[in-house]
Amino acid sequence: MYHCRKYPDSDDVSDILCAQSNGIKLFNMFSMVLILDSTYKTNKYHLLLLEFFGVTSTEYTFSIAFGYMKSEKEDKVSWALERCRNLLYSKYISTKVVVTDRNHALMNDVDIVFIKASALLCEYHIERIYR
């Protein structure tokens, strides 16, 4: 399943979000923690890659979705977070913790999109701050 957004007045796709049905099913069973990881300008098209992961009770990490966006601007990241939230959430599911890297747009939008969740910074990125 996927969502895409086009440039205004154009048929060119600017952002895309792809979700895996097995990842969504697993998230419905293990929805306490959502992990978000973003990388920018590491692929040949210089697009932002935003990945969504979950964690089972046995600490098995599974992929839920990924999105490619034209830039790191907050409106693009917010669009991807909202689409993913709409795919994942029913009235019975609420994530308690969202773990992110140090992407500022991502950190700002998590507080807006996932209102009831606590936003935490990944341990790896905390260690990089203090080296």
Closest CA to 51 of 93, 100, 119, 4: 100
Does residue 128 register a pLDDT over 70?
Answer: no
pTM, rounded to two decimals: 0.81
Question: Is residue 107 within 8 Å of 120, Cβ to Cβ?
Answer: no
Per-residue model confidence (pLDDT) at position 55? 92
Higher pLDDT, 46 or 96: 96
Query: What is the model's pLDDT at position 39?
Result: 82
* Cα distance between residue 51 and residue 119, in whole Å: 16
Query: 116 falls in which pLDDT band (50, 70, 90)?
Result: confident
Question: Cα torsion for 94, 51, 113, 21, to the nearest 10°?
Answer: -50
In tens, the pLDDT along 35-94 reads 998 887 677 877 888 899 999 999 899 999 998 887 777 777 888 888 888 888 766 677
Domains and CATH numbers, the chain: 2-129 (3.30.420)
Q: What is the per-residue pLDDT for 121?
A: 77
From residue 108, alpha-carbon distances to 53, 63, 83, 111 in Å are 19, 23, 16, 6
The predicted model gives 11-35 an average pLDDT of: 87
Examine the pLDDT at 111 and tell me if it is beyond 90.
no
